[in-house]
């Protein structure tokens, strides 16, 4: 805004025109040294670094929109609360313009002097309405948000709350006044110093999604993590190098000593080529847009977690394109708070980042006492292939140990064993390789897993879902023909004797055929009757949605959406003594819990919270490492049954760990599920001491497999309340 400066008549120059020119000529003759003006100032030897230049530019851009505060002018100043009403639309667009929302204002209008309404849509014409009202109470305004054609849907309510929080923060940010600090030499560096040898760094919650285009400069340098004795506390650190060959991260305590129980990881980004479908697979399968994903594909996301070797509490990482994402992790056994200092070198800020780990005085019972099963099916042959060892060779077993230890770390208590891996043909008979199976099982038991899960022993002939019969996996003969029944009896007898001799029968559950339906239910029932006779006391477990197998199946495992839709049936089965687990795979999509890459990591956390709401007994997934392509290069793959079609497996369905060069790597999804299991232990403890308090915490963030809180900060608040409550109860 240009403001003309008006002088009074008494302040105007008395000489103008020719008189003024003679005056200047006389002054020039009398003062010859002034005719050329003062000598130029010497060139500055001070320059801003790239980071300081960006910071200063940001301050100047903020100031460019401020109301002038010159006391000589009577202009409208900002209100005391710092809210600038004329930048509301800019603030709203800023709040909803992130990739996770991708919305924009299409219309804004004043309903009154104190109420403004904005209408928005996203790229798929998904609507929203935001109303901002002035108020007398802090922060000086309130925001209401309605989302979607039906704002009462749980997904719409969650998205509306997320938008509301972001808009509120953006309005405050746009109204905040920032002033340029007085310049001093410490703000700049000499020109002959390499100004590119700096990095910027900040903390992020381990459940918050990070991408290569995440702004590393807009993150806090102080962080607090709440944990319990014996748990793993974690935080993510995003570092933006400035054209330097490597960066270092060192973690110490406040006295500069190395930290016991510390681990540092690097998180690598992987692709998400297509979004998960609204009900299953990917969007192209049915052509429907899924509004419940975190970001529109294609994109890269930080997901694969590489362990790094520590040297005196420090790691050095070579720079690649984009930010470097780290995971910092520590296990605390003593209650109380401790501050860990995180030095990132070379850093824009000389002061270290501060990570406060607050350990509550409560410890979980053993994993086995949790009473919640968890299994990820895995492929020994793919372990061998991706780690370049021969299956069952001496070199294979140490790699399998590493996988077993990672499964145990992730909270898995159940591991499967596939009969074809341990039965070998000897003439007309299939003979159990007892030495191999014994070594295999002991590896997982020694790692801390408990339940032995016999993989399906039968299948649909040729993968034909319309077939009413089943065939054995080895040998491939009809399961209910006399030959098949004799072979099954012989193999089951050998395996039963093996388990009994080692005292493992009570830890054994057995599948028959994966996902039986009404079409093959009768064939399944006949095999189940034989197995119950051959293996008394060994429960039959199956992923199935058919109701036709009551009495044949002992451990039911429906998809999460089918369980919730048919809860009365499964509750009745529990009343009869059966167990009920749930599972996910390429379905369901939409708002339902699953653990796919383009979904919130909180979904993985909440599988265990569902155990408190629905009292389910476990969770199953088919894909620990069933790679169909290099998982670092491709996440969405063809469905094996229909290659080259629109029938795809969504990103992350085939795997939740990655094959690193020296062993398996975890993932952000795998760690999130571990966090949920930690929560379940605390919830169970609180339920025993204060059931009402436990229910209040659960209801505040989880109400159903499709109705849950997606705000990480809100989840953290409730988790902190949970830990405080169990610690208080334990001290009474």
What are the Cα distances from residue 720, in Å, to 493, 534, 697? Answer: 51, 49, 10
In Å, how far from its chain's centre is CA 563? 24
Task: Report whether pLDDT(396) > 80.
Answer: yes
- Name which of 554, 552, 551 is nearest 541 in CA terms: 554
Task: Report the share of the chain in percent with pLDDT over 90.
Answer: 71
pLDDT band for 59, please (50, 70, 90 cuts). low
| 262-272/299-307 β-pairing | antiparallel
Residues 6+ apart with CB under 8 A from 365: 681, 685
Q: How many CA atoms lie within 13 A of 133 on its CB side?
A: 8
Are 456 and 416 in contact by the 8 Å Cβ rule? The answer is no
Q: Encode pLDDT of 405-438 as tens digits.
A: 999 999 999 999 999 999 999 999 999 999 999 9
Q: Which two tokens stand for residue 647?
A: 């029938």
The pLDDT assigned to 56 comes to 63
The pLDDT assigned to 347 comes to 65
Residue that has been written with the tokens 């924009």 in this structure:
104
Residues 6+ apart with CB under 8 A from 44: none
Task: Report whether pLDDT(391) > 90.
Answer: yes
Residue that has been written with the tokens 């006044």 in this structure:
177
Of the listed ranges 78-82, 261-265, 718-722, the least confidently predicted one is 78-82
Of the listed ranges 134-138, 223-227, 593-597, the least confidently predicted one is 134-138
The pLDDT assigned to 9 comes to 33
Task: Report whether pLDDT(464) > 50.
Answer: yes
DSSP characters over 564-599 = HHTHHHHHHHHHTT-EEEEEESS---TTS----TTS
Cα gap 710→159, rounded to integer Å:
8
pLDDT band for 111, please (50, 70, 90 cuts). confident
CA angle 11, 12, 17 (to 5 degrees): 160
The pLDDT assigned to 397 comes to 98
pLDDT band for 459, please (50, 70, 90 cuts). very high
Residues 6+ apart with CB under 8 A from 136: none
Are 665 and 659 in contact by the 8 Å Cβ rule? The answer is yes
Q: Which two tokens stand for residue 217?
A: 């400069």
Whole-model pTM? 0.80
Cα gap 278→286, rounded to integer Å:
9
Mean pLDDT of 228-254: 90
At residue 344, the 3 state secondary structure works out as strand
The pLDDT assigned to 216 comes to 81
DSSP characters over 618-680 = EEEES-SB--SS-TTT--SEE-TTSTTSS-EEPTTTTBSSEEETTEEEEEHHHHHHHHHHHHH
Of the listed ranges 348-352, 558-562, 646-650, the least confidently predicted one is 348-352
Task: Report whether pLDDT(663) > 90.
Answer: yes
Q: Which two tokens stand for residue 384?
A: 């061998």
Mean pLDDT of 485-497: 98
Asked whether the domain spanning 371-377+399-657 has the same topology as the one spanning 198-363, the reply is no
The pLDDT assigned to 637 comes to 98
pLDDT band for 196, please (50, 70, 90 cuts). very low
pLDDT band for 350, please (50, 70, 90 cuts). low
Q: Which two tokens stand for residue 608?
A: 């265990």
CA dihedral (721, 724, 725, 728) in degrees, to 10, reads: -160
| Residues 198-363, CATH architecture | Sandwich (2.60)
Mean pLDDT of 237-249: 83
Given strand 618-621, what is the order of strands in its sheet? 508-510, 451-454, 414-417, 373-376, 618-621, 579-584, 555-556, 541-542
Cα gap 661→69, rounded to integer Å:
61
pLDDT band for 67, please (50, 70, 90 cuts). very low
The pLDDT assigned to 677 comes to 98
The pLDDT assigned to 148 comes to 86
Map 203-231 to HEC letters: EECCCCCCCCCCCCCCCCCEEEEEEEECC
pLDDT band for 345, please (50, 70, 90 cuts). confident
Residues 6+ apart with CB under 8 A from 478: 461, 469, 470, 471, 472, 484
Selected residue with higher pLDDT from 727 and 215: 727
Q: Is 308 exposed, middle or buried (0-12, 13-18, 19+ CB in 10 A)?
A: middle
Dihedral pair phi/psi, residue 353, rounded to 5°:
-75, 150
Of the listed ranges 61-75, 539-553, 662-676, the least confidently predicted one is 61-75
- Name which of 419, 191, 225, 245 is nearest 330 in CA terms: 225
Selected residue with higher pLDDT from 127 and 413: 413
Q: Encode pLDDT of 505-526 as tens digits.
A: 999 999 999 999 999 999 999 9
Q: What is the mean pLDDT of the chain?
A: 87
In CATH terms, 371-377+399-657 corresponds, of 1.20.1250.20, 3.20.20.80, 3.90.245.10, 2.40.37.10, to: 3.20.20.80
The pLDDT assigned to 46 comes to 57
Selected residue with higher pLDDT from 9 and 330: 330
- Name which of 304, 306, 402 is nearest 667 in CA terms: 304
Interaxial angle between packed helices 434-447 and 482-501, expressed in degrees from 0 to 180 and rounded to the nearest 10: 50
Domain parsing of the chain, residue ranges: 48-184, 198-363, 371-377+399-657
Task: Report whether pLDDT(51) > 70.
Answer: no
Q: Which two tokens stand for residue 682?
A: 């605390």
The pLDDT assigned to 8 comes to 34
Residue that has been written with the tokens 């401020």 in this structure:
66
Residues 6+ apart with CB under 8 A from 42: none
pLDDT band for 286, please (50, 70, 90 cuts). very high
């Amino acid at each position: 805004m240009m403001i003309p400066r008006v002088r009074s008549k008494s302040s105007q120059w008395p000489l103008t025109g020719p008189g003024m020119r003679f005056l200047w000529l006389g002054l020039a003759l009398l003062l010859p040294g002034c005719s050329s003006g003062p000598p130029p100032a010497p060139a500055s030897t001070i320059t801003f670094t790239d980071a300081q230049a960006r910071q200063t530019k940001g301050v100047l851009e903020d100031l460019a929109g401020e109301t002038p505060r010159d006391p000589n002018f009577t202009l409208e100043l900002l209100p005391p609360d710092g809210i600038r009403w004329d930048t509301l639309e800019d603030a709203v667009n800023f709040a909803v313009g992130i990739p996770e929302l991708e919305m924009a204002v299409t219309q804004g209008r004043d309903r009154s002097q104190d109420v403004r309404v904005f209408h928005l849509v996203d790229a798929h014409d998904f609507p929203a309405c935001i109303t901002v009202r002035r108020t007398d109470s802090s922060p000086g305004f309130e925001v209401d948000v309605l989302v979607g054609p039906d704002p009462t849907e749980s997904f719409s309510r969650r998205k509306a709350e997320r938008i509301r929080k972001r808009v509120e923060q953006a309005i405050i940010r746009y109204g905040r006044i920032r002033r340029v600090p007085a310049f001093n030499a410490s703000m700049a560096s000499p020109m002959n110093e390499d100004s590119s040898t700096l990095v910027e760094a900040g903390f992020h919650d381990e459940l918050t999604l990070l991408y290569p285009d995440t702004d590393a400069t807009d993150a806090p340098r102080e962080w607090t993590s709440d944990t319990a004795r014996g748990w793993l506390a974690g935080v993510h650190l995003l570092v933006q190098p400035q054209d330097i060959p490597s960066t270092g991260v060192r973690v110490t305590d406040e006295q500069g000593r190395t930290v016991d129980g510390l681990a540092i990881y690097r998180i690598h980004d992987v692709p998400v080529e297509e979004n998960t479908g609204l009900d299953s697979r990917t969007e192209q399968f049915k052509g429907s847009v899924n509004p419940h994903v975190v970001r529109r594909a294609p994109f890269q996301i930080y997901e694969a977690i590489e362990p790094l070797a520590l040297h005196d509490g420090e790691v050095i990482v070579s720079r690649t394109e984009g930010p470097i994402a780290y995971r910092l992790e520590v296990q605390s056994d003593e209650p109380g708070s401790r501050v860990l200092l995180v030095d990132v070198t070379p850093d824009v800020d000389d002061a270290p980042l501060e990570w406060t780990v607050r350990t509550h005085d409560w410890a979980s019972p053993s994993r086995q006492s949790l009473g919640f099963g968890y299994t990820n099916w895995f492929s020994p042959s793919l372990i061998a292939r991706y780690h370049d060892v021969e299956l069952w060779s001496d070199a294979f077993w140490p790699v399998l140990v590493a996988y077993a230890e990672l499964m145990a770390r992730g909270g898995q208590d159940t591991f499967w064993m596939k009969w074809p891996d341990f039965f070998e043909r000897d003439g007309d008979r299939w003979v159990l390789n007892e030495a191999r199976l014994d070594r295999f099982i002991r590896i997982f038991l020694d790692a801390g897993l408990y339940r032995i899960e016999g993989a399906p022993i039968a299948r649909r002939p040729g993968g034909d879902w319309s077939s009413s019969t089943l065939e054995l996996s080895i040998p491939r003969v009809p399961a209910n023909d006399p030959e098949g029944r004799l072979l099954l009896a012989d193999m089951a007898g050998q395996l039963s004797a093996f388990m009994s001799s080692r005292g493992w029968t009570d830890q054994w559950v057995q599948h028959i055929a994966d996902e039986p339906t009404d079409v093959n239910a009768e064939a399944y029932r006949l095999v189940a009757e034989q197995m119950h006779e051959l293996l008394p006391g060994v429960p039959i477990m199956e992923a199935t949605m058919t109701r036709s197998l009551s009495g044949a199946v002992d451990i039911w495992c429906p998809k999460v959406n089918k369980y919730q839709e048919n809860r009365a049936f499964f509750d009745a089965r529990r009343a009869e003594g059966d167990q009920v687990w749930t599972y996910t795979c390429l379905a369901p999509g939409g708002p339902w819990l699953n653990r796919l890459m383009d979904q919130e990591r909180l979904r993985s956390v909440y599988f265990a919270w569902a155990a408190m709401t629905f009292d389910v007994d476990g969770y199953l997934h088919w894909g620990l490492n069933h790679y169909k392509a290099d998982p670092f290069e491709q996440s969405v793959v063809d469905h094996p049954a229909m290659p080259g079609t629109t029938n795809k497996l969504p990103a992350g369905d085939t795997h939740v760990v990655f094959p690193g060069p020296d062993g398996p790597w975890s993932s952000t999804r795998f760690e999130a599920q571990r966090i949920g299991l930690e929560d379940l232990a605390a919830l169970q403890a609180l339920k025993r001491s204060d059931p009402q308090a436990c229910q209040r915490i659960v209801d505040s963030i989880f109400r159903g497999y499709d109705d849950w809180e997606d705000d990480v900060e809100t989840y953290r608040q409730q988790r902190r309340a949970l830990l405080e409550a169990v610690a208080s109860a334990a001290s009474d």
